[in-house]
Each structure stands twice: as C-alpha cells, then as structure tokens.
Structure 1
Amino acid sequence: MNQTFKVSGMTCSHCVNAVQTAILKTDNTAGIQVDLPSGLVSINSKLPRSALVAAIEEAGYKVSSP
C-alpha cells in the first residue's frame, strides 16, 4: 500500500538517508521516495501507517498528514 507523509525537520541528504534507514529497519522491502524540498515521503509498504510514523519519529523527525 502506498502512503504519503509530511516529514518536518529534513534539511539535507543526511536527513533523507536517516529517514530511509529508519523505515527500512522497520520494513526492509519498503519502496521509499523522498522529496526533500517539499518534505514529502512516499512509502510503499504493507505495514500500518502507525508503524511507519513511529519509525520516522524515533529517528527524530515530526510526521503530519500531507
């Protein structure tokens, strides 16, 4: 299932990598697309939204609806 999140706090490629790594630790088969300028993260995963949000927030970023 494809889900889109608005992630606050991403300012550089290191931040993008940190978010991607956090998601992949939760679901190593997830497809992830990050648009740094808009802060939008699209994730194709079978996990529930709450699990993906928790992974991103544990990495130190704030998640809201797009």
Structure 2
Amino acid sequence: MSSPTRTYTVAGMTCAHCVSSVTSEVAKVPGVVDVDVELSTGALRISTDRPVDDAAVKGAVEEAGYELVSP
C-alpha cells in the first residue's frame, strides 16, 4: 500500500539551498515520511504515514523562511 501524498506550492525559493531548507524542515513534521521539492515550479510533495495537518506543513515551510501559497 502506498503512502498518501499531498502537493503544495511554496513561494520564494531561488536555489538548491532553499530546496534543502524546505525539505529539512518539512521532514520534521510528524507523519511525513518523504519530501520532494521542485525548485522550478515551487511544488512541494509529501508522503505521509498518517494524517498531517496543513498548518503543520505551513509552519515548517515558514520556519525555513518561505511561504506556503497553496495546499
């Protein structure tokens, strides 16, 4: 059985370090088991092993210094 996935859009990323920062912070959210960030589109895809609150993902993105503009 595959893990549920969610896709968001992150604004403000301009380089590989930005991607690394977002990936690192979002990976700390309880329930997140995989994180994929695409710099060119701002797409943030997460796989989870349990329900994850959008507010927790938003907080992690903001902690990294960026803005979550959509779930």
TM-score, normalising length: structure 1: 0.84
CA contact (8 A) 1:3 1:49 kept: no
The answer to whether the aligner puts 1:2 opposite 2:5 as a matched pair is yes
Runs of 5+ unmatched residues, structure 2: none
Separation in structure 2 between the aligned mates of residue 13 and residue 51 of structure 1, nearest angstrom: 23
Residues 1-66 of structure 1 correspond to what in structure 2 (within 5 A)? Answer: 1-27=4-30, 29-45=32-48, 46=50, 47-65=52-70
Quote how far apart the aligned CAs of 1:28 are: 7.3
Runs of 5+ unmatched residues, structure 1: none
Which structure would you say has the larger Rg? 2
- What's the C-alpha RMSD, in Å, of the aligned pairs? 1.7
More helix as a share of residues: 1
Quote how far apart the aligned CAs of 1:27 are: 3.4
- Percentage identity across paired residues of the two chains: 36
Separation in structure 1 between the aligned mates of residue 5 and residue 30 of structure 2, nearest angstrom: 13
TM-score, normalising length: structure 2: 0.79
User: Higher RCO, 1 or 2 (CA under 8 Å, sep at least 6)?
Assistant: 1
**Which secondary structure state, in structure 2, belongs to the residue aligned with residue 26 of structure 1?**
coil
